[in-house]
Structure 1
Amino acid sequence: MVRTIRHRTMTTNSSKTPSSHATRQQNSNKLSRTKKACFGLMTTVLGLVAIELTLALLGVGRSNADGDPMMGFSKQVPLLERYVDEDGKAWMRTAENKLVWFNDQRFPLTKPANTQRIFCLGGSTTFGRPYDDNTSFAGWLREWLPHVDASSRYEVFNAGGVSYASYRVAAVMEELANHEPDLFIVYTGQNEFLERRTYADFFEQTKAQLWLTGLVSQTRTYAAIDSILRKNAPQESDADSIVLAAEVDERLNHTVGPSDYVRDDEWSDKVREHFKFNIRRMIHIARSANAKILFVVPASNEKDCSPFKPDSEDGSFETGQRSFDAGDFASARAAFQLAIDRDICPLRAPSNFAQFIRDLPESDDVRVLDFESELRNVCIDEHGHDILGEEYFLDHVHPTIDAHRQLSRWLISEMREAGWMAADSIALNELSAETVEGVDQSILGRIDRTAQGIAMRNLAKVMHWAGRFEVAAPRARDAIELLDGDAESQFILADCLRWTGQIDEAVVEFEKGVSAYPTYFRGVQRYGLLLLELGDNDAAREMFSIATLGWPETDPRHWAARFQLSIAHLGACDFESAHRELQECREHTPGDMDVVFAIAEASVGIGEPEKAIELYEQVLDEFPNDVDTHLNLAHTLLSTKQTDRAAGHFATALSLAPDNERAQAGMMVIDQLKQSAE
């Protein structure tokens, strides 16, 4: 029995457990596969290392480790160029073809001993707009630093690019990282929505995929393969790639105002993620160059600049104004901030962009200065509330000269607190009154009054074009004062008053303009339009007659003035003059239906109703749903006793616009005629 049991046990076990020889053989096979995998991996790694070393010996550089994997630029145009002065000293300076976007700056090619090299980066605020580097926070820094820390030399280079968003700022930073930086100061976040760009499926990748892509992209092998692929790639742009122009191509340059912008929350979310990516990327660039980095939380004009394209369902800005006037500053601030965040054309940094910078983890080499909060504290002290407005900003985002001065002082305090300055450096409040006055005079004394006036005029023009008349008007006044009178600024001011409902004041300013600058035809023409709206047709005719003399017949503006003159003739019931002018306009632009419509009106006035009917019908062929044309045609048909046809057009007008009083009155006339006929 025992043997049987043991035999059965052994037999059963043998079917499940290999013999000792078989076990050793199987373990041997397992070990071999593991060894093979390890050896294969080691061989691959050693092979890659060998390739890397070979490429290094051949002088092949690494791929740009700090490049933006989401986009590139159609041309790699460097910011800096090398030049040698008369004494044979080598310098790096702003490249000539970059001076439209950047200040003219320079620094020695070889950094002198005991020198701290500071690069200030960002958009037009860093640049110093609407002025230049002289009164920017970089310009103020350059003046303060020698007095604060006399034991070191400081080079402050203003690398702010007009309209530059974070991805362009990061690209500039990559270049500057090659020039022995000690500190980067970055003010960015206002321009992230200026350029069209798409993101394909970049944000669908996992963090692990992004990490691996970034790691591989830093190798020389990747650089060599990428170079070969780029050389062999077709020149046509890939629909899924993101290749931007070498310089900023603002969406606003292609539109009349902010009309190109529509609500697109998905795209906005991707812009925000890209912004965050580039902020982190800048930290990596700075650390790779053994430099420190100081971010500035951007600030904006909240209460004195309405949204550039407000959400039609959101009256936050108006709510903010009412709350502010009522002294409810907490509600006002929340409403103004919501107006910025919901702006469909966001030319000010949304609150979540600023908050991301504010929340960056600080370290020995990374700091954050909350410019917005600091400015609010000043506003409370000076005005009793913390709502930022025209007291500190010249437009929607550009600080006043004094606000730039304040920012520079806060930056120095932040640098001292971080331990980035010499131990014996002096706090700004310890400087003598004479020193402070000397710094102020050094900056302010270099201001060119004429250049400043032109800057104010340019700013007024931009804000007027964008429809921000409440911002444009004070800047136009500044330009008039600084330039001791200026034609363009005078008429911009008048037109801003017109569009903000200050009609009496607008007339006064227009009259000043016409009296002082009678040959500034664009302004005279604008005054004519206001007079036309006010029903002063005779005065409007005078303005338009002057305006027609301003441009040759080859200029479209000449014909615009001629057409407006004809409308004033119609308003004055001078149908013969209107008809004559309009016939010439039609010869110039035969397909313009506005001209055809006006000729029809003039034709009625000179007693040619059948001709008018023909012209109105031409307009309806192009615009079958135009209510005014249906109504004018209906009335003309009535005058020629064509009641049934008139009734049809009155009915069509009423169906298109049920609340239109002319259409309702016309149908009543038709009903009365029908009753009389019965």
Structure 2
Amino acid sequence: MKIEMSKSGTVRKTIGMSLAVLLLFFALVEVGAWCFGVVPLSERSDPFLGFSDTSRLFRIENGRVEIDPRHGAFRKVSFTHPKPKGVFRIFVFGGSTVWGWPMGDAQAFPAWLEKGLQALAPGRQIEVHNLGAGSYASWRIRRLAREAAAFSPDLFVLYMGNNEFLEKRFYREIGERARRLPEMRGALHHLRTYTLLYDLLAPHTTPQPDDPFTSLLHPLDLPVRHDPEGYRDRKERAEIIRFFAENLEAIRSIAEAAGSKILVCTLPVNLLWTGPTRSVPVANRVLFERARRLQEEGKCEAALPIFERLAAEQPDSAELWFRIGRCRYERGDLGAAREALLTSLSHDLYPQRILPEMNGVIRSMAGVLLCDLDAIVSGEYPGGLIGEGFFIDTMHPSVAAHKRIAMEIGRVIVESGLLGDVRWSKETFQQAISGEEAAPTGKLYAQKLYFVGKTHLRAGEYEKAIEALRAAIEVAPYYAPLFDTLGTAYGKMGRNEEALAAFREAYRLDPDNIFAMLNLAIAERNTGRFEEAISLLRKAIGKRPDFFPLHLELARTAFQKDDLPLAQEAATSAVNLKPTDREAVRLLSLIESAQGDLVGGIRRLEALLADYPQDVQLLTDLARLVDRTGDAGKRDALFARALAIDPDYPFLHVSIAETALGIRDFDKALHHLDRAIALDPKHPYPYRLKGEALFEKGDREGARRALEAGIAATGSPLLREQLERLKGL
């Protein structure tokens, strides 16, 4: 018994000594870090504000309350505590709109609200404090409101709802264990030892202070990742809306307990000018791309029935409903346009705009003041479709719109009697906020233009996108994404050389960016520079071997260059990464067939067609392969089936023409080539085939005219070479 107790005591002593040595080691490291001036993360920043009860927004020094400087996502706020007699104190909560992105502090609506109210009540001291921060949603605002309630507020103003889907990880379904993680990490942030390990090991970047595109969001030291599927689950979306309502009610209770009133705003919704953040991919890409081109050429009457047909087949595609709404708007059917655009928003997988149901939640709140901005502003636009003019991008208002928001909130405050016998005067308020209309300049101006350009790009307004992006480049010529987005806009317009120049500059500025490399490679290929494209894609794959689009584009590029071994290797890699991807499987089938495995290629396409029975491109590809087997009956049946589904697919007519040329049926070939040219007059290949068909038919003059027409329409150097050869014969 004594021996066992002796052994037990020895073990305890050993463990105790080990722990003491370990603690002494870390204490020495901590002291050493202090000696060398290591600043703990807790003093640099606080990424847990709004997620942790241990983090605080405010600090109090010498009777003044200020925003803790670690919280760089907020505007500078300072006020006296305790509150002096006669002060009317308003706290405004929300996201980047309240913050005033991308304008200066003086042009955000809380600043206009203070000026206007002060003019209406010159005998009182009005304080309006801007507590907005980029991407803050109701969950974090609820915690901030609890803290602000300690400083004698007279009124809480809430302008929020656009960010509710951005922080899925932190919503109610998080388990208690995950919710405790920020508390533990928050404690570690006070240790210099942890800070040293963080700086050495954590995959993070340090924003440059002079970079105007550094995110306004406070960087989280947590791996917040969105589910790639987004919010398809309707129950999950309903839970987020319910949780939004719960947070609003909690903030109302916080205000009531603090003796404060609360004013809640509905948010105007940008339906017309910006598309969905993420949409279910359109299955029939061939038909969609043709309709998209028609729409962008201003031919909405032709595009609309195609979009509506696709939406009937795939009613959950937000992208299709957005384009339907735009087409209906262009033809003046405003009611139907609004219905389609609302449907698009309801199917957005990652909504970055408030949903109508959430505005409904705000309207239904009891015991609050309501400023129904959505109803007020939408009532001033045709069909209630707010767009460009009020907004500068997806959700952020212009300076004039910020003033309008301030005025409507001010009117509700005064008419509610919160300022006593102060009477509402629109003229006085407007006069107080007149002037200072200058747009943001310098870095903020570049930020604004960048997002304006992206918004125009998503709406298919490419000229406006290019104009905004080029203006932004004049201010920030060192920022690679500006050139990358500009290249995309040029590419959408078919201005391939200008797209190439923009993508080259983006790559020069950021040579390690995989997307810059990918976009440049595609631009090199589109301008016939296959070797450059292949070299760049191989280099990118060396950096990111698991990135599917790189392998797919390498396969496409090598196939177009007739480098079949490389094309097959790249397509096989793409299929291995995504075995069910339609385009990867289709491309591998065509490459295998070109390599001599015709039967294998046909089998792959037939299996793929079983999943996409209405896909005209697959039907056309399969018909072309079957033609090589000599089975004319099966080939013609596939062509007939494709024509019945989509008689306006240009490549289908080109393919039928090629088979007709193979049996010297020149009249049939010419009929389908004329149809292909009428459908897509910018593609040089049908002109080339038409020239060959007329020459073989004996009509040299007709062949010359066909090639000259193709040159005039496309500017193709290949057609010029063919015309020169014809003249030399």
| TM-score band w.r.t. shorter chain | 0.5 to 0.7
Contact 2:138–2:160 (Cα < 8 Å) also in 1: yes
Distance 1:495-1:387 versus aligned 2 partners, 3 A rule: same
- For residue 272 of structure 1, what is the aligned residue in structure 2? 241
Q: Tell me what 1:343 maps to.
A: 348
Q: 1:176 to 1:327 in 2, by over 3 A?
A: same
Which of 320, 326, 329 is residue 331 of structure 2 equivalent to?
326
User: Does residue 1:632 correspond to 2:583, yes or no?
Assistant: no
State the distance in 2 between where 1:482 and 1:385 align: 32
Preserved contact between residue 308 and residue 468 of structure 1 (Cα < 8 Å): no
Q: Which amino acid aligns with 1:238?
A: R
Question: How far apart are 1:97 and its partner, in Å?
Answer: 1.9
Cα gap change, 1:603 to 1:398, in 2 (>3 Å): closer
Indicate which of 510, 524, 528 corresponds to 1:537: 528
Map 1:171-250 onto structure 2 (within 5 A).
Answer: 171-197=143-169, 238=177
Identify if the C-alpha distance between structure 1 residues 291 and 602 changes in structure 2 by more than 3 Å, giving closer, same or farther. closer
CA distance in structure 1 between the partners assigned to 2:321 and 2:395 by the alignment = 19
SS of equivalent residue, structure 1 residue 393: coil
Quick one: structure 1 residues 458 and 661, their matched pair in 2 at CA, closer, same or farther if it must change by over 3 Å? Answer: closer
Q: 1:279 to 1:248 in 2, by over 3 A?
A: farther
Q: After TM superposition, list the pairs within 5 Å mapping 1:19-30 onto structure 2.
A: none
Amino acid at match of 1:653: R
- When the two chains are superposed, the root-mean-square deviation of aligned CA atoms in Å is 4.6
Provide the C-alpha distance between the structure 1 equivalents of 2:55 and 2:419, rounded to a whole number of angstroms. 34
Distance 2:135 2:219 in 1: 7
Using the TM superposition, give the Cα deviation of residue 429 of structure 1 relative to its aligned residue in structure 2, in angstroms.
Answer: 1.4
1:481 — aligned with what? 471
| AA of the residue aligned to 1:194 | L
1:197, CA displacement in angstroms?
A: 4.2
Q: Percent identity?
A: 20
Question: Secondary structure of the residue that 1:117 maps to in structure 2?
Answer: strand
2:451 matched to which residue of 1? 459
Q: 1:285-343: per-residue Cα shift (whole Å, max 9, x none)?
A: 11111111111111121111112234541443233223212222222223222322332
Cα distance in 2 between the residues matched to 1:72 and 1:667: 63
SS in 2 for 1:346: coil
Judged with a 3 Å threshold, the aligned counterparts in structure 2 of structure 1 residues 490 and 171 are, in CA distance, closer, same or farther, namely closer
Cα contact 2:56–2:147 (8 A) shared by 1: yes
Task: Quote the residue 2:215 is aligned against.
Answer: none
1:8-19 matches, within 5 Å, as none
Other-structure match for 1:254: 225
Counterpart selection for 2:434 from 436, 440, 444: 440
Does residue 427 (structure 1) correspond to residue 411 (structure 2)? The answer is no
Residues 476 and 490, structure 1, Cα contact 8 Å, conserved in 2: no
- 1:549 aligned partner: none
The match for 2:135 among 163, 168, 180 is 163
- Is the contact between residue 528 and residue 541 of structure 1 (CA under 8 Å) also seen in structure 2? no
Pick aligned residue for 2:384 from 378, 386, 393: 386
> 1:97 aligned to 2:75?
no
1:406 and 2:398 are equivalent in the alignment: no
**Counterpart contact for 1:136–1:404, Cα < 8 Å:** yes
How far does the alpha carbon of each residue in 1:396-439 deviate from its partner, in whole angstroms, 9 at most, with x for none?
211111111001111111111101124245613146x8x44xx4
CA contact under 8 A between 2:266 and 2:372: conserved in structure 1?
yes
For the structure 1 residues 526 and 398, does the alpha-carbon distance in structure 2 shift closer, same or farther, using more than 3 Å as the test? same
Partner amino acid, structure 2, of 1:254 = R
Structure 2 match to 1:224: none
User: Which residue in 1 is equivalent to 2:603?
Assistant: 652
Question: Which of 89, 94, 106 matches 1:134?
Answer: 106
The separation in 2 between residues aligned to 1:198 and 1:301, in whole angstroms, is 26
Judged with a 3 Å threshold, the aligned counterparts in structure 2 of structure 1 residues 471 and 345 are, in CA distance, closer, same or farther, namely farther
Match of 2:369 among 367, 371, 390: 367
Distance 1:472 1:288, change over 3 A: farther
Which one of 251, 270, 277 corresponds to residue 308 of structure 1? 277
| 2:672 paired residue number | none
Structure 2 vs 1, CA of residues 175 and 497 (structure 1 numbering), >3 Å: closer, same or farther? same
Q: Which amino acid aligns with 1:409?
A: M
Query: Which residue matches 2:199?
Result: none
2:443–2:476 Cα contact (<8 Å) kept:
no
Amino acid at match of 1:281: A
Q: Which amino acid aligns with 1:440?
A: S
Secondary structure of the residue that 2:388 maps to in structure 1? coil
Residues 483/107 of structure 1: CA separation in 2 closer, same or farther (3 Å cut) = farther
Amino acid corresponding to residue 80 of structure 1 in structure 2: F
- The separation in 1 between residues aligned to 2:327 and 2:80, in whole angstroms, is 54
Deviation readout 1:367-421 (Å, 9 max, x if unpaired):
1001111112333xxxx55310112111221111111100111111111110112
Indicate conservation of the 8 Å contact 1:150/1:425, yes or no: no
Q: Is the 8 A contact 1:122 1:161 kept in 2?
A: yes
The alpha carbon displacement at 1:455 in A equals 2.3
TM-aligned CA deviation for residue 243 of structure 1:
7.4
One-letter amino acid of the structure 1 residue matched with residue 379 of structure 2:
N
SS state at 2:150 partner: coil
CA distance in 2, matches of 1:483, 1:612: 37
Name the CA distance, whole Å, in 2 between partners of 1:298 and 1:355. 10
Give the 3 Å change call, closer, same or farther, for CA 652–524 of structure 1 in structure 2.
Answer: closer
**Paired residues of 2:390 and 2:401 also in contact (CA < 8 A):** yes
The alpha carbon displacement at 1:652 in A equals 3.0
Query: Cα distance, 1:632 vs. partner?
Result: 3.0
Structure 1, gaps ≥5 residues long: 1-70, 85-89, 203-235, 545-560, 565-581, 639-645, 673-678
Q: How many residues align?
A: 499
Contact preservation (8 Å) 2:64, 2:80: yes
d(CA) in 2 for partners of 1:496 and 1:600? 19
**TM superposition shift of 1:460:** 5.3
Per the TM alignment, residue 348 of structure 1 is displaced from its structure 2 partner at its CA by: 1.2
The 8 Å contact of residues 138 and 244 in structure 2, kept in 1 or not, is answered as yes
SS in structure 2 at match of 1:96: coil
TM-score by length of 1: 0.62
- Bigger mean CA offset, 335-344 vs 349-358: 335-344
- Asked if the contact 1:197–1:242 (Cα under 8 Å) also holds between the matched residues in 2, the reply is no
Q: Which runs of 5+ in 2 are unaligned?
A: 1-48, 187-217, 281-313, 610-617, 632-729
Aligned counterparts of 2:559 and 2:336: Cα–Cα separation in 1: 58
- TM-score, normalised with respect to structure 2: 0.58
2:494 counterpart (485, 497, 503):
503
* Corresponding residue number in structure 1 for 2:677: none
Report if aligned partners of 1:457, 1:476 keep a CA contact under 8 Å in 2. Answer: no
Q: Whole-Å Cα distance in 2 between the matches of residues 357 and 93 of structure 1? A: 30
Distance, in Å, in 2 between the alignment partners of 1:592 and 1:275 is 36
Partner SS state of residue 76, structure 1? coil
Give the C-alpha shift of residue 479 in structure 1: 5.6
Aligned partners of 1:599 and 1:612 also within 8 Å? yes
Q: SS state of the match for residue 98, structure 1?
A: coil
**Is 1:79 paired with 2:50?**
no
Q: What is the one-letter code of the residue matched to 1:345?
A: Y
Quick check: 1:586–1:592 contact (8 Å CA) kept in 2? yes
Greater Cα shift, 336-345 or 470-479: 470-479
User: How many Å separate the matches in 2 of 1:336 and 1:325?
Assistant: 13
Offset of residue 108 of structure 1: 1.8
Secondary structure at the aligned position of 1:411 is classed as: helix
Separation of aligned partners in 2, 1:497 and 1:614: 31
The answer to whether the 8 Å contact 2:415/2:423 transfers is: no
Report matched runs for 1:579-590 at 5 Å: none
Displacement of 1:270 in angstroms is 1.6
Checking the alignment, whether the CA contact within 8 Å between 2:59 and 2:68 is kept in structure 1 is yes
Task: Tell me the equivalent position of 2:258.
Answer: 289
Q: 1:530, 1:112 → 2: CA distance?
A: 64
2: CA distance, partners of 1:603 / 1:308: 33
- How far 1:618 sits from its partner (Å)? 8.5
Equivalent position of 1:415 in the other structure: 413
Residue deviations 1:162-205, cap 9 Å, x none?
Answer: 11111211111100000011111111111111112487799xxx
